[in-house]
Chains A and B, each alone.
Chain A
Amino acid sequence: MSLISFSSAQAATALRLPLYLSRVSAGFPSPADDYVDKGLDLNEYLITHPAATFFTVVSGESMEGEGIFDGDILVVNRALEAVDGDVVVAVINGELSCKLLDTKKRRLLSSHPDYPPIPVFEGAELVIEGVVPFSIRCHRDRHR
């Protein structure tokens, strides 16, 4: 059996965008450009724990107040410890759900007026599947 040691979250991006420090001026090269050596890797920014990070796609509108819309992609990091106010993926009725964590009142909040808070009762276990440090939104029709 061979190992397929390739995961979407581990893929090294081929495209590296350099961060330009100076404005482009005609005819006179900026001495700062000599220090532009390493491109920026979006993976590095979004994924701090590759083995513990996975992507999910959102279905529903209860998190619109956080700027998370139906069809958006969530970056879910299982290695981060969830703290009060985090956007998290939790298990609600056996389903993966995206909510805001309110540890003080032991509940999960939506950020949409139509969705009431979900209390986590004493004795019940709150299973947090991961913290959502980023969401990814496409502003263009993907099917175009």
Chain B
Amino acid sequence: MIAIVDANSFYASCHQIFRPDLRNKPVVVLSNNDGFVVARSWEAKALGVPDLEPFFKIEPLLRRHRVAIFSSNYPLYGDISARFMRTLQGIGDQVEVYSIDEMFLSLTGHQDLNRLAWQMKDRVWQHVRLPISVGIAPSKTLSKLANHVAKRHRQGQGVCVLDQPKKWEWVCRRVPVTAVWGIAKRMARRLATLDIHSAWDLATANPKAVRQVSNVNLERTLEELNGHPCLALEDLPPPKRQIYCTRSFGQKATTLQPVLEAISVYAGRAAEKLRDQQSLAVTIHVFLHTSPHEPNYFSDSVTAKLAYPTDDTRLITALARRMMQGIYRPDHAYIKAGIGLIELVDRKHQQFDLLHPGQPERADRLMSVMDKINRQQGKGAVFLASQGIKKPWAMRQQFLSPQYTTKWQDLPVVRS
């Protein structure tokens, strides 16, 4: 049996952990730069706060209902995520961290799965104060479906176990095919041509007919919907094939200097992620644009190859800056810039050629020292001067909450 456990409105819930006064109250979390609503507590959803709506449009609605508003606080989310996963780790024989707020667990030898699901829920609430939903079924796809049901039907209170064919059949007959894991709208339109509309239609479809409109993945989904597991748990997520780091500016940039500083910061961050997953970059992509909602929209981008596969922040930054200088045009108010490391190779399998011996060992050592300092002393303890010191273009975070669990200065206060 496989369980998928995820946190309800994860980002919003994180803000309620150390603010008991906000539990059972409407809470929203804004995206980077406070642009959009990215997370809503159940109560905020009930008030009709829409998802992914520009903040300025719905601010009056939020104020009227006294909704608590927070800027994104990733250090907090990261720490709470790790605590959540750790709390349940011992329960599964194998665990796959699927995203910041979701994990799969493989379960064997449990008699009463309903009771187990409740134990998980109680334990995560008790230990971390995080509300979760649990779906349990014989395959990943069915457990995702169980979780979908657990979330939408309040009477289940966040728990759904589909351990017998009659149970998952009952659900499959009642949900649209888009409720199935991995079936997006586009695929659903193609399936509609085969008269497949519900999850049940898909489960009972002729695999050969399905193959006509799709690929082998969908055949696996079909198998999984019938209770035959085809997808194993993955211990480690595969390394990313591209790494993008892109942000909006807090204030529009009208000169080259702040744009260059911003791209240096993003390049530094991207290189850090690159080293984290033990890859080297071959090709990079740099872009810049003004607001698409304003007249004279301008955007440009460029790709270039590095001299040799590298994860050296200095080389990546230097190239990114040169590329940016190439596409920058004066007399525009820029709102966003970004860098993508788009062709990556595995560090272990790097190929050397005659002209370039590859990254010197000194660079490896320097980068690992830099990463070590930043890990121990906090992000940004050491950085390239080209990133700028004051960063006036940096993100707007009007509603930043404390980093309760990762910063000594931000510990929650307890009255006595």
Chain A interface residues (CB < 8 Å from chain B):
1-10, 49-52, 54-63, 68, 70, 73-74, 76, 78-79, 89, 91-92, 94-99, 110, 127, 129
Docked CA distance A60–B74 (Å): 30
Given contacts A7-B79, A54-B404, contact A2 B276 (CB under 8 A): yes
B273 contacts across to A, CB distance below 8 A: 2
The residues of B with any CB-CB pair to A shorter than 8 Å are 18, 20-21, 74-75, 78-79, 81-87, 97, 99-100, 126-129, 273, 276, 375, 404-406, 408, 411-416
Residue contact A127 to B20, C-beta cutoff 8 Å: yes
B416:A99 contact, CB within 8 angstroms? yes
Please name 9 further chain A to chain B contacts, defined as beta carbons within 8 Å, in addition to the given A3-B81, A5-B78, A129-B129, sorted by A numbering: A7-B405, A10-B82, A51-B127, A52-B126, A54-B18, A55-B405, A59-B413, A59-B415, A79-B127
20 residue pairs from A and B, CB less than 8 Å apart: A3-B81, A3-B100, A5-B81, A6-B78, A6-B79, A7-B82, A7-B83, A8-B79, A49-B127, A52-B83, A52-B128, A58-B413, A58-B414, A60-B415, A60-B416, A78-B129, A96-B413, A96-B415, A97-B416, A99-B416
Query: Are A98 and B415 neighbours in the complex by a CB distance under 8 Å?
Result: yes
Closest residue of B by beta carbon distance from A98: B416
Contacts of A61 in B (CB 8 A): 416
B interface majority secondary structure: helix
Is the beta-carbon distance between A97 and B414 smaller than 8 angstroms? yes
Query: B81 — which chain A residues lie within 8 A by C-beta?
Result: 3-5
**Bound CA span A2–B87, Å:** 19
By a CB distance below 8 angstroms, the chain A residues around B127 are 49, 51-52, 78-79
Count A/B pairs, Cβ under 8 Å: 113
How far apart are the CA atoms of A58 and B415 in the complex, in Å?
6
Beyond A4-B75, A79-B127, whether A95 also contacts B416 by CB under 8 A is no
A32 to B21, CA, bound (A): 55
Complex contacts, A94 vs chain B, CB 8 Å: 20-21
Question: Which of A9, A52, A96, A127 contacts B414 (CB under 8 A)?
Answer: A96
Residues of A with C-beta under 8 A to B79: 4, 6-8
Assembled-state Cα–Cα distance A74/B99 (Å): 32
Q: How far is the CA of A9 from the CA of B407 in the complex (A)?
A: 11
The interface residues of chain B lying within 8 Å CB-to-CB of A79 are: 126-127
Given A1-B99, A3-B97, A78 and B416 contact (CB-CB distance below 8 Å) = no
Contact of B20 among A54, A99, A129 (CB under 8 A): A129
Cα–Cα distance between A91 and B99 once the two chains are bound (Å): 31
Pick the contact of A7 from B406, B413, B414 — CB < 8 Å? Answer: B406
Measured CA separation A28–B78 after assembly (Å): 52
For residue B79, which residue of chain A has the nearest CB? A7
**Whole-angstrom distance between the alpha carbons of A61 and B415 in the complex?**
9
The closest CB in chain B to the CB of A54 belongs to B405
The distance in angstroms between the C-alpha atoms of A9 and B411, with both chains bound, is: 12
Q: What distance in Å separates the Cβ of A105 from its nearest Cβ neighbour in chain B?
A: 20
Question: A127 CA to B412 CA in the complex, in Å?
Answer: 17
The smallest beta-carbon distance between B13 and chain A, in angstroms, is: 15
Assuming A3-B97, A3-B100, A95-B21, is B415 touching A51 (CB within 8 A)?
no
Question: Do B100 and A8 touch across chains, with their CB atoms under 8 A apart?
Answer: no
Chain A's closest residue to B127 (CB) is A52
Minimum distance in angstroms from A83 CB to a CB of chain B: 15
Q: In the complex, which residue of chain B has the Cβ closest to the Cβ of A76?
A: B414
